[in-house]
């Protein structure tokens, strides 16, 4: 079959994935079966449809636009998202990340277009050409997916589900759910309760299962976060990570247990428990926690590249499914990177703790040890020289970074253009390549960053018998997954303890 299906997907490759029920492609594309009027994930256990009866689509919205509804058997929208939005950092990828964060629900298509630097009409043309659906349809599909998750995984009343998912009315919620899933909200909740139940309710909290691709090295990610946890903002205890969240409509918290392998028919997932000031922030909170988890990573694709390299093969074998820890707040990630310049992790943690104690807004939470939000850019920009014990050049870099973010000149979120943001950051005195690449890895989700001047990188390479001076050349073999190679290099130093020094590049 030579023709291309919508969105320029390779139809032959897609059909082979469907025929073999290859789970690696779940969330990467959707199969619309026009004889039955349903769309499925590639791994759907139903009988493989004839090739003449299907088309393939990059998004659920595009599949819905063909008149198909979601398959009740494979629940195609209950999958991790596509890793391609981080790999291909084009306008479509940036738009998808912002839509997932709820920007269209909060600011409309006009707000989304402004964030991306396009007119609404031109953005619509771009997204329809690339993804098969415009921004409103993509946002509607995201609302439907969020609604289904809340219906099946939470104990919220349906009116609460409607507004938490971003719908403007309960009627709109009911109509959309029936159209997309060919079932009422009540029928969806009843069916899922019979099949596997829902998490036990916790008063004042919304509990959700967040699906991830496997294998998933959850313990390694938790260890990474634990070593760097900031008192008041983050708490790690009993294999659980908790932190405060600054969300569009008010503060919140999340308690997170890390993913386990699939068991008893329940897909691998993290269990997230949210306490929110406003339920309408649930979409943003969920998406930001998914970024933290690196939930959409394709670990098999990463292992296919890195596992063939003699230098990393043992590390990949020893820790399958290693993730790049994301972040819930790009500005916070950038500040912590600046404070971590040329000092140990412990010293950077102490500086960040002082910053939080001095400028972090106090909040009341139901989690012991969580009582502060990370400071705002405006508050940090107003710091006077000498307020924190650090070199004057680093204090200046922190102030200039905060001013740029506060004015909107430097947006630090996953909707940012990576190249433009890197240029903006490098233009700030005291910020160099190490800081830019660390921010790109953790705040922007760039899967292809590498830190050759990092002290941990050099130590790992020396331990592997390689010359650290060859780091940049070696890393070319690890594209497009150099961020994961970076994590494997750091991970190789964690026997039995994590590295004590992030880097010593002279950014200032």
The answer as to whether 343 is a domain residue is yes
Pairing mode, strands 206-211 and 269-276: antiparallel
CATH number for the domain harbouring residue 32: 3.40.10.10
Percent of the chain with pLDDT over 70: 91
CB 161 within 8 A of CB 188: no
What is the helix, strand, coil percentage profile of the chain, to 5?
50, 15, 40
| 343 and 442 part of one domain | yes
| 47 and 126 part of one domain | no
Report pLDDT digits (tens) over 198-225: 556 666 789 998 988 889 999 999 999 9
pLDDT band at 496 (very low <50, low <70, confident <90, very high): very low
Q: Which of 22, 65, 66 is nearest to 44 (CA)?
A: 22
DSSP labels, 111-148 = HHHHHHTS-HHHHHHHHHHHHSS-HHHHHHHHHHHHHH
| 124 and 103 part of one domain | yes
The answer as to whether 505 is a domain residue is no
| 360 and 467 part of one domain | yes
φ/ψ bin of 161: left (φ > 0), alpha (ψ from -120 to 50), beta (otherwise): alpha
| 338 and 483 part of one domain | yes
Report pLDDT digits (tens) over 307-356: 999 999 999 999 999 999 999 999 999 999 999 988 888 899 999 999 99
| 130 and 272 part of one domain | no
CATH number for the domain harbouring residue 104: 1.10.10.60
The answer as to whether 26 is a domain residue is yes
The answer as to whether 406 is a domain residue is yes
CATH number for the domain harbouring residue 247: 3.30.310.20
| 348 and 392 part of one domain | yes
The answer as to whether 178 is a domain residue is yes
The pLDDT, as a whole number, for residue 75 is 85
The answer as to whether 318 is a domain residue is no
The pLDDT, as a whole number, for residue 389 is 83
CATH number for the domain harbouring residue 458: 1.10.340.30
Last residue of a domain, one of 26, 48, 70: 70
| 223 and 89 part of one domain | no
| 479 and 361 part of one domain | yes
Average pLDDT over all residues of the chain: 89
d(CA 499, CA 340): 13
Report pLDDT digits (tens) over 280-308: 999 999 999 999 999 989 899 999 999 99
| 120 and 251 part of one domain | no
The pLDDT, as a whole number, for residue 386 is 77
Q: Which residues are catalytic?
A: 40, 454
| 212 and 232 part of one domain | yes
Last residue of a domain, one of 136, 166, 195: 195
Range of the domain at 160: 84-153+156-195
480: cis peptide before it, omega within 30°? yes
DSSP labels, 241-271 = EEEEEEETTEEEEEEEEEEE--BTTBPPEEE
Report pLDDT digits (tens) over 236-284: 998 899 999 999 999 999 999 976 655 555 568 899 999 999 999 999 9
How many structural domains are present in the chain? 4
DSSP labels, 37-86 = TEEE-TT--SPPPPGGGEEEESSHHHHHHTT-EE-TTT-TTSS---THHH
| 290 and 429 part of one domain | no
Report pLDDT digits (tens) over 405-459: 999 999 998 888 899 999 999 999 999 999 999 999 999 999 999 999 999 999 9
The answer as to whether 379 is a domain residue is yes
The pLDDT, as a whole number, for residue 260 is 61
């Amino acid at each position: 079959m030579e023709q291309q299906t919508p969105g320029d997907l390779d139809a032959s490759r897609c059909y082979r994935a469907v025929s073999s029920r290859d789970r690696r492609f779940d969330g990467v594309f959707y199969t619309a079966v026009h004889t039955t009027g349903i769309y499925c994930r590639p791994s759907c256990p139903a009988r493989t449809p004839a090739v003449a009866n299907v088309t393939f689509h990059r998004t659920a919205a595009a599949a819905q636009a063909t008149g198909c509804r979601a398959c009740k058997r494979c629940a195609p929208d209950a999958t991790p998202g596509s890793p391609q939005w981080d790999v291909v950092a084009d306008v479509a990828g940036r738009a998808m990340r912002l839509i997932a964060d709820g920007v269209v629900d909060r600011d409309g298509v006009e707000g989304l277009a402004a964030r991306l630097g396009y007119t609404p009409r031109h953005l619509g043309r771009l997204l329809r050409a690339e993804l098969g659906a415009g921004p409103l349809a993509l946002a509607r599909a995201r609302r439907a997916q969020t609604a289904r998750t809340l219906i099946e995984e939470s104990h919220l009343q349906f009116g609460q589900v409607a507004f938490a998912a971003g719908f403007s009315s309960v009627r709109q919620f009911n109509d959309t759910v029936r159209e997309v899933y060919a079932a009422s909200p009540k029928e969806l909740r009843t069916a899922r309760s019979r099949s596997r139940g829902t998490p036990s309710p916790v008063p004042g909290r919304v509990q959700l299962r967040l699906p991830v691709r496997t294998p998933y090295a959850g313990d390694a990610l938790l260890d990474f976060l634990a070593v760097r946890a900031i008192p008041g903002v983050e708490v790690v205890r009993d294999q659980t990570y908790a932190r405060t969240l600054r969300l569009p409509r008010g503060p919140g918290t999340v308690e997170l247990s890390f993913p386990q392998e699939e068991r008893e028919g329940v897909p691998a997932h993290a269990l997230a428990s949210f306490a929110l000031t406003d339920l309408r922030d649930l979409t943003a909170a969920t998406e930001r926690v998914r970024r933290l988890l690196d939930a959409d990573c394709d670990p098999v694709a990463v292992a296919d590249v890195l596992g063939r390299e003699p230098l990393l093969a043992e590390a990949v074998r020893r820790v399958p499914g290693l993730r790049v820890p994301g972040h819930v707040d790009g500005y916070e990630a950038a500040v912590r990177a600046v404070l971590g310049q040329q000092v140990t992790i412990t010293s950077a943690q102490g500086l960040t703790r002082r910053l939080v104690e001095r400028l972090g807004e106090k909040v009341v939470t139901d989690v012991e040890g969580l009582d502060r939000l990370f400071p705002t850019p405006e508050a940090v920009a107003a710091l006077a020289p000498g307020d924190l014990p650090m070199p004057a050049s680093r204090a200046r870099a922190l102030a200039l970074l905060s001013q740029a973010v506060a004015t909107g000149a430097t947006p630090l979120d996953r909707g940012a253009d990576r190249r433009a943001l890197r240029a903006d950051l490098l233009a700030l005195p005291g910020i160099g390549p190490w800081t830019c690449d660390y921010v790109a890895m953790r705040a922007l989700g760039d899967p292809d960053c590498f830190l050759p001047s990092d002290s941990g990188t050099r130590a790992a390479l020396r331990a592997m018998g390689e010359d650290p001076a060859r780091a940049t050349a070696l890393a070319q073999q690890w594209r497009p997954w150099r961020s994961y190679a970076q994590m494997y290099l750091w991970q190789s130093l964690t026997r039995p303890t994590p590295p004590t020094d992030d880097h010593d590049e002279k950014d200032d």
